[in-house]
Copies of this chain bind each other. A is one copy, B any other.
Amino acid sequence: MEIEIKFRVSEDIKERLESLNAKFVGLEVQEDVYFDVPLPKLLRVRRISNLGKSYITYKEIMDRNNEEFYEVEFEVSDFNLAIEVFKRLGFDVKASIKKERLIYKLGDVTFELNKIPGLGNFLDIEVISDDPEEAKRKIWEVAEKLGLKKKDVEPRLYIELVNELSSRSS
């Protein structure tokens, strides 16, 4: 299971991550297309344009705080054809999200620092584990070292944030 807590952060989180000795793993320029499936299910086709890779990802949210996910993901050879198949099967596109992601690792903790135009900067701290409580303890241990607090947690999904943004601006 994927355990992940999302924090609203400021740009200087990068220096704090590096002073924690988290190892920079890579940059991903991501384009996510989410389809309209009923929550707690999530269906996404992602293109990582700077790496030339695309993925189909299916998730089921397992908890009320959007922190525990069952995830199935596999690579696909063509972003647009994958989107076309889901559309032709009757799934509507719910939202498209573009983000720039810096990825860091520290032991088995993964940090995804996302810059999303119009929404701001977010740090997803993630651990893959069958023990959600132990995983969250680990996540909070490093989060506190980064100076992050409960009030910085953003419980909403990216897709919810993007949809709120577009309904506010329309």
Say if the beta carbon of A3 comes within 8 Å of chain B: no
User: Are the C-beta atoms of A78 and B74 separated by less than 8 Å?
Assistant: yes
User: CB distance A76 to B56 under 8 Å?
Assistant: yes
A89 interface contact, C-beta 8 A:
yes
A106 at the interface (CB under 8 A from B): no
> What is the CA–CA distance of A60 and B89 in the complex, to the nearest angstrom?
10
CB contact list, A136-165 vs B, under 8 A: none
Instruction: Give A126 Cβ to nearest chain B Cβ, in Å.
Output: 19
B85/A58 in contact, CB under 8 A = yes
Query: Is A88 an interface residue, CB under 8 A from the partner?
Result: yes
Whole-angstrom CA separation of A147 from B77 in the bound complex = 39
Q: List 27 A-B contacts (CB under 8 A).
A: A37-B89, A41-B88, A41-B89, A43-B89, A56-B76, A56-B82, A56-B85, A58-B84, A58-B85, A58-B88, A58-B89, A60-B88, A72-B81, A72-B84, A72-B85, A72-B88, A73-B81, A74-B76, A74-B77, A74-B78, A74-B82, A74-B85, A75-B76, A75-B77, A75-B78, A76-B76, A76-B77
